[in-house]
Amino acid sequence: MSTDENPAQTTVPTESDMQLSPRESAIFDAANARFLSVPDEKHEFDFLPVIDMIQLRGNWISAHAPAGTAVERERLPSEFRDYRLYLHSERNRLKQLCMLAMQTWLADLPGLLSVLDALETAQRADEPASEDLTWEGEGFGLEVLPDCYRIGPPGKSHAPIFADKDLILDFIIFVAGVLSRLPEDVQPPYDALECARKAVAIRNQVLPAEQ
């Protein structure tokens, strides 16, 4: 099941191609806005330095450096103050993904990728994953389905999201790359660059036609 539409595969005519009434023009602008967006300027992490940004399916995700001063730490909600990286999505649909990454994935990115690789290997072999492996995936808020991933915080009541595999893998590659560029004193206790390479390898196995 796939719920993400790739804007690159959708052609939206320009306004100059048509003679539009004011009402039609408003409808056109609303439709076009689905595919054209700009990053949020105001959000909960906007006072933290931006390290990098990526646009996934028309949605901007920004990665922000950890709080470097006491003033910055005080501006963060108490439950956010010890994260290694801050991720913001301009659209609600992927905010849950950013939150899951900050709360769970960043603490053990190698573990996430190891479980994901094993689940994908079982999927390609058309074999059921072991109970232990399934449980590990659930611990990361991840379930591997034939053509998408089910993403949801473990043990929480929030409705999960179903996202195409390339979107999630591109997100992980982006996050790992950003982590690898953090200053040495805030680097994660694992090789983030190696995690990025691992995520690329998984992507190439899962989506070989795109190579």
More confident position, 61 or 21: 61
Band of residue 42 on the pLDDT scale cut at 50, 70, 90: low
Q: What is the distance, to the nearest Å, from the Cα of residue 90 to the centroid of all Cα atoms in its chain?
A: 12
Instruction: Name the strand (E) or helix (H) holding 61.
Output: strand 59-64
Tens of pLDDT, residue by residue over 90-129, are: 888 899 999 999 999 999 999 999 999 999 999 999 999 9
* Burial class of 208 by CB neighbour count within 10 A (0 to 12, 13 to 18, 19+): exposed
Report the range of poorest mean pLDDT among 10-24, 41-55, 71-85, 147-161.
10-24
Q: Residue 180: what pLDDT? A: 96
Q: What is the mean pLDDT of residues 5-25?
A: 49
Closest C-alpha among 79, 4, 69 to residue 44: 79
Closest C-alpha among 52, 60, 104 to residue 83: 104
Q: What is the pTM of this model?
A: 0.78
In the chain, alpha helices (H): 22-32, 70-75, 92-103, 109-124, 131-139, 165-180, 192-206
Write the DSSP symbol of residue 208: G
Q: Which two tokens stand for residue 112?
A: 């996430």
